[in-house]
Structure 1
Amino acid sequence: MKNWTRAALGLAVPAAAVAGYAAATTANPDPFFPPIPVMLKRFADLWLFEHLPTDVVPSLRNFAAGYAIALTLGLLAGILVGRIRWLKEMAEPLIHFGRSVPPIMLIPPLVLVLGIGDASKVFVIALGAVFPVLLTTVDGMRQVDPALLDMSRSIGLGRVQTLRRIVLPAASPAIYGGAQTGLQVALILMVSSEMVAATHGIGYMTMQAQATFNAPSVWAGILLLAVLGFLINAAFTLVRNRALAWHTGRAAAYAAA
């Protein structure tokens, strides 16, 4: 199937949904479901000009900082836990216990300790996004072919070289999968943390609009989050596809054989 055909099929359902919404809101006006032109105008007025530097930029900064911390800690901890048997046996129950606690539930105590500033939001984002990266890194380490490890020992590779040349490349598909899941979790927590205790941000502005029954602003906030989520995921997918081009090519060769 050609790329343009796949794109057309992928856009068919969203286009039909938008057309149906436009027809419904035009025929039967509803204060809680504004017409698309009203929604787009509010989106432009609110997010492209007035609140871009005061709310959108701080939210994205917290998102980037929290995700970077989660990615770094999750990868480092996953490598250690995946490679050191006694550490894995000791840490695995704690990891599964920690990931079972919803990060949103930690927002109130963190606000008490860190305040309503950006520090508590970055901490919540990092805490929620770290577990997908950590768990998939550990799982990726387990899936390394033992024959590759035997080969590395037979040719005299040290631990660091084995990790860099054998283990990490073999585990990278799983690691990128966890990093992409962590990206989605970080975006959700960015908004959630701003809805509970904040003075600015996308989540805060959307909740303020909901509290005042400002439906166009609510829908404009939802539209902004959808656009941001799509663009962030598209950028990550581009990076992942470039980094894993060797893996995709090998899988295609095996399928054709």
Structure 2
Amino acid sequence: MRHALLRWSVLALAVAVWQLVARAHGSVYFPPPADIAGHAHELWFSGPARHFFLTEAAVGAILPSLGRMAAGFGIAAVAGIALGVAIGRSRRAYALCDPVLQFARAVPPPALVPVFVVLLDFGSPMQIASIAFSAVWPVLINTADGAGNTDPLRLEVAAVLHLTPAERLRFLILPSALPRIFAGLRLSLSLSLILMVFSELLPGTANGIGFTLTDAQSRSDLLTVWAALVLLGALGHLLNTGLLAVEKRLVGKGRTTTV
């Protein structure tokens, strides 16, 4: 509780300093956080209670972005865990695939977006594919590393007990690899948020938070630009906090990873 209060007090102090500096400076390019929060509330969260206070602008901006991000992240998570376990359980396969995996991970994710534009044209399929392809590598590499480092003694005990491959996977390999899997998932979640916004900045997008950013910039609506940036930061924090809570639930507080 003391640690949480300290964290929130630091955030409150930073916002207060921002408010004072912005008020003193009086620049239209650097609005106070109170003005940004009020504009964001009016723009997105002043709807009726039966719609969870979401306005039509929020439904047209936030929900499509979250849908694309969830689809891309979900595909990356499932594919990364499945392929990572398969590669990590074979030392030869891991040695052969590791250079390719490291090369793919080193490619800047936004650089791949033009490739998917050529292959899939503009639209949601291209955006989801670019998110999934870029976010899969941290999950895959971390899962392979975690699965390959399963305690050999436990594997020998499993062989003595004649556990089936499915039972070894369920009771030994996956529990052993879970901390590394969640480390990869948290990295992929951040990449998914970045790629979601970047893909929505491209031509041909008609909704989403990224589209809201470019549209507001073209109209010199700086309050909306700042509101969208703050919204992205808040969404990233909330999603990461939720994933961390799931990790603590499944892995245990003492074994959670920091990325």
Which structure shows the bigger proportion of residues in helix conformation? 1
C-alpha distance in structure 2 between counterparts of 1:115 and 1:44, whole Å? 35
Contact (CA 8 Å) 1:107, 1:196: kept in 2 or not? no
How do 1:1-257 residues align onto structure 2 when only pairs under 5 Å count?
3=1, 5-48=2-45, 49-197=55-203, 198-245=205-252, 248=254
* CA distances 1:6-48 after superposition (whole Å, capped 9, x unpaired): 1121122211111111111222211101123321222123233
Q: Which amino acid aligns with 1:104?
A: P
C-alpha distance in structure 1 between counterparts of 2:136 and 2:115, whole Å? 19
* CA distances 1:176-198 after superposition (whole Å, capped 9, x unpaired): 11111111111111111111332
Contact (CA 8 Å) 2:39, 2:224: kept in 1 or not? yes
C-alpha distance in structure 1 between counterparts of 2:130 and 2:44, whole Å? 24
C-alpha distance in structure 1 between counterparts of 2:33 and 2:172, whole Å? 52
User: C-alpha displacement at 1:74, in angstroms?
Assistant: 0.1
Contact (CA 8 Å) 1:25, 1:33: kept in 2 or not? yes
User: C-alpha displacement at 1:148, in angstroms?
Assistant: 0.8
- How many residues of Structure 1 are paired with residues of Structure 2 in the alignment? 245
Q: Which amino acid aligns with 1:9?
A: L
Gaps of 5+ in 2: 46-54
C-alpha distance in structure 2 between counterparts of 1:88 and 1:20, whole Å? 50
User: C-alpha displacement at 1:205, in angstroms?
Assistant: 1.0
Q: Could you say what the CA RMSD is over the residues aligned between the two structures, in angstroms? A: 1.6
C-alpha distance in structure 1 between counterparts of 2:165 and 2:97, whole Å? 21
Contact (CA 8 Å) 2:150, 2:177: kept in 1 or not? yes
User: C-alpha displacement at 1:200, in angstroms?
Assistant: 1.7
TM-score norm. by structure 1 comes to 0.89
C-alpha distance in structure 1 between counterparts of 2:241 and 2:250, whole Å? 14
Contact (CA 8 Å) 1:193, 1:203: kept in 2 or not? yes
% same residue: 34
C-alpha distance in structure 1 between counterparts of 2:134 and 2:115, whole Å? 15
* CA distances 1:36-92 after superposition (whole Å, capped 9, x unpaired): 332122212323324211121110000000000000000010011011333323322
Q: Which amino acid aligns with 1:143?
A: N
Please say which of residues 198-207 and 116-125 is displaced more in the overlay: 198-207
The DSSP-based 3-state class of the residue aligned with 2:65 is helix
The higher relative CO (CA closer than 8 Å, separation ≥ 6) is in 1
Structure 1 runs (4+) greater than 4 angstroms displaced: none
